[in-house]
């Protein structure tokens, strides 16, 4: 039996991998594919920041839900469980960590700090985020990042409030 990952990929598979790897960034970088694959999430968060916090929340939750089957399928295509090249859990969930923040009004360096916070919390994975990695399939790929992004949202808001008060 030929492993699915070793089979010729259809156009649908290629499109899935393109999305799941952060527009291909997770496939082409020699190191930190999750970080590079997260970059499209910054543009997505900027766009969503123009909407009300309620609509941002709804969109963020829809992105979380959409990331689960996308990550599941990408795992099957690549033939590796929770493959580091899969970045949909990073870029599609990045907007969770910026809900309500006025990204378009902030200096670029604050958004860079928010991005760094998300990446650091995702790497550290404070409890219970770390334990959620044990869940199998796309749900497990996404759940730990969802928890990490909720923590990041709190930290990013604290940073925003501190900096806004200092200016």
Express each pLDDT in 30-83 by its tens digit.
788 888 889 999 999 999 999 999 999 999 999 999 999 999 999 999 888 878
Q: How many percent of the chain have pLDDT more than 70?
A: 95
Name the residue ranges covered by the structural domains of the chain: 8-166
Question: What are the b/e assignments for 44-70, b being 16+ CB within 10 Å?
Answer: bbeebbeeeeeebbebbeebbeebbeb
Q: Rounded CA gap, 92 and 142, in Å?
A: 10
Half-sphere exposure of 94 (CA within 13 A, CB side): 32
Q: Rounded CA gap, 167 and 165, in Å?
A: 6
The end-to-end CA distance of the chain, in Å, is 63
Q: 0.75 cut: is pTM over it?
A: yes
117 or 21, higher pLDDT = 117
* 68 close to 86: Cβ distance less than 8 angstroms: no
**What pLDDT is stored for residue 7 in this prediction?**
58
Confidence grade of residue 4 (pLDDT, cut at 50, 70, 90): very low
DSSP 85-120: T--HHHHTTGGGGGTT--GGGS-HHHHHHHHHHHHH
pLDDT tens for residues 116-131? 999 999 999 998 888 8
Which of 98, 81, 83, 8 has its CA nearest to residue 44? 98
Which of 147, 145, 144, 141 has its CA nearest to residue 68? 141
Provide the 8-state DSSP code for 32.
Answer: -
Look up tokens 């089979």; give the residue.
7
Confidence grade of residue 162 (pLDDT, cut at 50, 70, 90): very high
Instruction: Please check the confidence at residue 1 and state whether its pLDDT lies above 60.
Output: no
**What pLDDT is stored for residue 81 in this prediction?**
84
**What pLDDT is stored for residue 165 in this prediction?**
85
């Amino acid at each position: 039996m030929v492993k699915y990952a070793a089979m010729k990929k259809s156009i649908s598979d290629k499109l899935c991998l393109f999305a799941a790897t952060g527009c291909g960034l997770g496939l082409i970088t020699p190191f930190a594919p999750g970080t590079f694959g997260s970059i499209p999430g910054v543009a997505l968060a900027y766009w969503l920041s123009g909407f009300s916090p309620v609509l941002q929340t709804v969109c963020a939750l829809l992105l979380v839900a959409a990331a689960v089957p996308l990550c599941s399928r990408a795992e099957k295509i690549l033939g590796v469980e929770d493959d580091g090249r899969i970045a949909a859990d990073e870029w599609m969930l990045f907007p969770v960590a910026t809900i309500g923040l006025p990204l378009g009004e902030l200096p670029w360096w604050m958004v860079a700090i928010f991005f760094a916070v998300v990446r650091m919390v995702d790497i550290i994975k404070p409890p219970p985020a770390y334990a959620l990695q044990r869940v199998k399939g796309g749900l497990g790929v996404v759940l730990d990042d969802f928890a990490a992004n909720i923590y990041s949202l709190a930290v990013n808001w604290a940073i925003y409030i501190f900096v806004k008060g200092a200016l």
